[in-house]
Amino acid sequence: MSFLLKSVSNAVSATAAAVTGSSSGGAAAAAAVAAKKLIADPDKYWNTIGKTAHKVIQVKPNLGTTPQPPNTVRFVCVSDTHSLESSIPYLPAGDVLLHAGDFTDVGAMQDLVNFNKWLGSEQITSKYRHKIVIAGNHGM
């Protein structure tokens, strides 16, 4: 049990550091102390942490313009689309599309139906011979 609490405590500290944007110093430490107090009440913890601002970092994707060497398998990996997969402006072609979780926000049935339609769309079936989907905590 102490290992579990230590793991949760470490996760809370890491979350606090990520939310405050600081790995050390007063702000992260204060946030970590406040968050640790919530460990005893998981519902309160998740309700509180869910209201914090999330840091979004835009990255430039590899557009898959590099020719694929022979006898290789190209994986295209995406995750955390949260029901917005049809809004992705570009996905490079590959052999396997791997969606690594969180394809819905809360697991609503209509979101699952829409995701399945997207997987079966011409946009996807024409680019990928195989599709692998891993359910995340938002897809259940």
Residues paired with 132 in a beta bridge: 98
Residue for token pair 């968050």: 35
Quote the pLDDT of residue 59. Answer: 65
pTM of the model as a whole: 0.55
Distance CA 94, CA 124 (A): 10
∠ CA 118-105-78, rounded to 5°:
50
Q: Which two tokens stand for residue 29?
A: 């430490």
Q: How far, CA to CA in Å, does 75 sit from each of 4, 57, 100, 132?
A: 35, 23, 12, 10
Q: Where are the alpha helices (DSSP H) in the chain?
A: 2-20, 26-36, 42-49, 109-119, 122-125
Coil vs helix vs strand at 65: coil
Tens digits of pLDDT across the chain (140 residues) = 333 334 444 555 555 555 455 555 566 666 666 656 666 677 776 676 666 656 666 666 666 677 888 999 999 999 999 999 888 888 888 999 999 988 988 888 999 999 999 999 999 999 999 999 998 886 66
